[in-house]
Structure 1
Amino acid sequence: MSPPRQPLSRELVLEAAIRVADRGGAEAITMRRVAQELGVEAMSLYHHVPNKDAILDGVVDAVFAAIELPRPGDGDWRAAIRARARSARAVLSRHSWALGLIDSRRRPGPATLRHHDAVLGVLREAGFSLPMAAHAVSLVDSYVGGFVLQEANLPLSTPAEVEDVAGDILEHLPDGLPYLREMITGHALRPGYDYAEEFGYGLDLILDALETRRG
């Protein structure tokens, strides 16, 4: 005997929409597909969400709710922003479809608003001017989003795949490209190389640059 179905709610609708998007991207989110995911009729969803736009607003807010919230006033702004950036990368890597939605929604939800306020609070309490805080948010978020997008499109994710792809490139690499060959053989193919480590290096460069202009 199957367990009784959990009563439908807005939270369950958004969770189902996220699963749909994880498989097929944001464009896969429709009232019909979300209803199919839940095993109900599409009309049942309208008791909990008014339309597709409300679902899109809700899933974006759910993504922000999953990102670690920095705490203003802890004293180490770099550690707080670094932890938040790493958390954002982890969450967005699981839901890379959200990258195209995050900045497109005109009605940010409560989790989104709390998140942005907390990030600005860390920067402002660390001595950043208002314009510099805006620059910092834009720079860090652009870096995180760009890195996640690049990772999502790379044809490799493990050291073995890196070795296969790099080896194939080397095999077909024309003569006269010494610096590219050097990069592949002396860096990408070195033991223990992991492209994911580039994220932390780039993030620290950004934080170093922001620190020089904080005052």
Structure 2
Amino acid sequence: MGREGETVPGDARAGAAGVDPERLWLRPPEPRRGRRPSFSREAITAAAVAVADAEGLDAVTMRRVAAEVGAGVMSLYSYAPDKETLLELMVDHVSGELPATGETTGDWRADLKAIAHLQRAHMLRHPWLPAALSTHRTPGPRTLAFLERALAALRPSGLDGAARLEVFAQITAFVAGHVGHEIAQAAAARSPERSAAEARYLAAVAADGRHPELAEALAAPRRPVTPEATFTRFLNRLIDGLDTGSG
């Protein structure tokens, strides 16, 4: 596929060799010779984020981003040589919205829950993030700043550095998975007919006698089902159950 190929960011085939983190984050972009361009890597990234926020990752192509900044497609490649690189830039760009500093209480579980809630709100503002994070591998400076905060919050747990990294990765994966499901559920809820059909289906399954465990679960008193309450309940179960004894 040529450089103009419209592979969706995150496609497993895109950028098979992977992004070079040293080149991406430690070396400034080198624009082509000639007249100084009227855009920057930051402007390109911001334009890509705006497209993804409004229309999803499928809409993010090098051609579309070039049009948004008023440039030719080829002129973008000095700043973002492929879509995988562009996706890395986008993830780090929006990570700047996450507060890199904040007071810690000394209660690492409470602080970790607060961090997870920040992540959820952040991903809901950028609904493409859960999918993007599944292929994101090279944390940039803004992402690292938030990671530092999370690792500091986890220090009172007594876990070593490697285990703290694992816990943060586990929580981030949980938040991304939950938000992805939350977004899908919200879309489904906009179809009353489908919601009613699902309710009838589950009622029929519960009554068929072959699924007693499910029938009991469906008959149990309902807990609050607002998105925030559901997320908090699941998050509490996860973090409260973390075992720090094995390191």
TM-score (norm 2): 0.66
Letter of the 1:79 counterpart: A
1:32 correspondence with 2:58: no
Letter of the 1:147 counterpart: H
Partner of 1:89: 120
Deviation at 1:46, TM superposition (A): 4.4
1:76 correspondence with 2:107: yes
Partner of 1:204: 236
In structure 2, C-alpha distance between the alignment counterparts of 1:149 and 1:167, rounded to whole Å: 22
- Runs of 5+ unmatched residues, structure 1: 1-6
Does the aligned pair in 2 maintain the 1:132–1:214 contact within 8 Å?
A: no
Deviation at 1:36, TM superposition (A): 1.9
Deviation at 1:14, TM superposition (A): 1.1
Partner of 2:218: 183
In structure 2, C-alpha distance between the alignment counterparts of 1:151 and 1:75, rounded to whole Å: 31
Which of 146, 155, 165 is the aligned partner of 1:124? Answer: 155
Deviation at 1:165, TM superposition (A): 5.5
In structure 1, C-alpha distance between the alignment counterparts of 2:236 and 2:49, rounded to whole Å: 31
- Runs of 5+ unmatched residues, structure 2: 1-37
In structure 2, C-alpha distance between the alignment counterparts of 1:183 and 1:71, rounded to whole Å: 41
1:142 correspondence with 2:173: yes
More helix by share: 1
Deviation at 1:200, TM superposition (A): 0.6
Deviation at 1:163, TM superposition (A): 7.6
Does the aligned pair in 2 maintain the 1:64–1:112 contact within 8 Å?
A: yes
Deviation at 1:162, TM superposition (A): 9.4
Deviation at 1:195, TM superposition (A): 3.8
Deviation at 1:130, TM superposition (A): 3.4
The alignment partner of 2:47 has SS state of: helix
Deviation at 1:141, TM superposition (A): 1.6
1:111 correspondence with 2:115: no
Does the aligned pair in 1 maintain the 2:100–2:148 contact within 8 Å?
A: no
Deviation at 1:156, TM superposition (A): 5.1
Q: Alignment length, in residue pairs?
A: 204
In structure 2, C-alpha distance between the alignment counterparts of 1:82 and 1:183, rounded to whole Å: 28
Deviation at 1:124, TM superposition (A): 2.3
- Superposition RMSD on alpha carbons, in Å? 3.4
TM-score (norm 1): 0.74
Deviation at 1:109, TM superposition (A): 1.1
The alignment partner of 1:66 has SS state of: coil
Q: String of CA shifts for 1:91-117, please: whole Å, max 9, x gaps.
A: 112223222332534432111222223
Partner of 1:3: none
